[in-house]
Amino acid sequence: MSTPTIGQPVPDFRAESTAGRPFQLSERRGRYLVLYFYPKDSTPGCTQEGQDFRDLYPEFQKLGADIVGVSRDSLKSHERFRCKYEFPFELLSDGDETLCQMFDVIRMKNLYGKQVRGIQRSTFLIDAEGRLAAEWRKVSVKGHAEAVLRAVAGLAAKSSA
């Protein structure tokens, strides 16, 4: 399966979700989707990123955008993380790395001097027709949610013009 590229349709996928039923991309047609990949539940950077998206969630919703977080953690871990920080959006469990491979976000990283495989913090904006509209790789958390919101606002402005 090839990695989605800007302007091209994102292949449909299904993943286990904290929403209580599987997430299916094709069911989200007609709305923008912010799909953000993060390394691990309850770590400082991932917590801050989730909180930033949470705090801006009403603005994303006004623009017709949903937010979904993805990591390799279990649904049980995701549910604890989501509840503890009151995330209003669902989290997807990608334990088998299907989505991580699809979006090419697995990288070798240094962790305390050791090489480990992990998720490179990345975000993908999928438009209402299911095409990849924008991507951010090697994300720095500070200011990232705001940058994604600006991109969604830009898409929304173009589609209403």
Would you list the domain boundaries of the chain?
14-144
Q: What is the mean pLDDT of residues 112-133?
A: 92
Q: Average model confidence (pLDDT) for the chain?
A: 94
Q: What is the mean pLDDT of residues 41-58?
A: 97
At 35, list the tokens: 């799909």
CA dist 146 and 25 (Å) reads 24
pLDDT score recorded for residue 115: 85
At 51, list the tokens: 């909180």
Q: Among this protein's residues, is 83 annotated catalytic?
A: no
Least-confidence region, from 23-27, 54-58, 157-161: 157-161
Confidence band for 116, pLDDT divided at 50, 70 and 90: confident
- Give residues with Cβ within 8 angstroms of 107, minimum separation 6: 117, 118, 119, 120
Superfamily of chain region 14-144: Glutaredoxin (3.40.30.10)
Annotated active-site residue in 25, 46, 67, 92? 46
At 45, list the tokens: 């950077």
Confidence band for 117, pLDDT divided at 50, 70 and 90: confident
Nearest by Cα to 91 from 99, 82, 102? 82
Q: What is the mean pLDDT of residues 101-115?
A: 86
- Give residues with Cβ within 8 angstroms of 123, minimum separation 6: 34, 35, 36, 37, 135, 136, 139, 144, 148
> Structure pTM?
0.94
Q: What is the mean pLDDT of residues 121-128?
A: 97
Residue 1 has pLDDT above 60, yes or no: no
